[in-house]
Amino acid sequence: MCKGADGMAEKNKVDVRIAGKDYTLVGIESEEYIQKVALYIDRKMNEIMRMNSKLSTSMASVLTAINVADDYFKAHENVISLSKELKSAKEEIERLKEENRRLADENAIISNKNTYFQLELAKREAELNEVRSALEKSTRARI
């Protein structure tokens, strides 16, 4: 938004043509945006007037307003629906992150236990080898 020296937003005057009539629109939005909106309305109105050439400009304007309002409400409902889906997806992501942290912690514990048991197994195998070696020596000594 453009701000003037007094802090107020500067207003843009834009000449547009809708349904063959010239209008001067004033707004704080950019000229490009105002032209885009006017073109949208012009196309909607021309579409309605093509479907029924007997419509007055006034009646076509009302029908255009109704169609644009319908588009707006449908888009708004879609935004609400998408916002709910986004919120749900974010909650699912957080739940999965928490589960991932929990599983990583659990994995670390299991990994530590595995390391401990491998060391214990190595000790027991060494002890077993010592006992076998001692038994072998003892058996040879008796023979």
pLDDT, position 143: 72
Number of independent structural domains in the chain: 2
For the chain, residues with pLDDT lower than 50 are 1-5
Are both 35 and 69 inside the same structural domain?
A: no
Alpha-carbon distance 82 to 129, whole Å? Answer: 68
User: Is there a domain that residue 93 lies in?
Assistant: yes
Are both 70 and 22 inside the same structural domain?
A: no
Could you list the residue range(s) of the whole structural domain that residue 48 is in? 9-55
pLDDT, position 140: 87
CATH (domain of 47): 3.30.160
User: Is there a domain that residue 103 lies in?
Assistant: yes
Q: How far is CA 142 from CA 30, 41, 128, 135, 138, in A?
A: 107, 111, 21, 11, 6
Q: The tokens of 34 are what? A: 């105002």
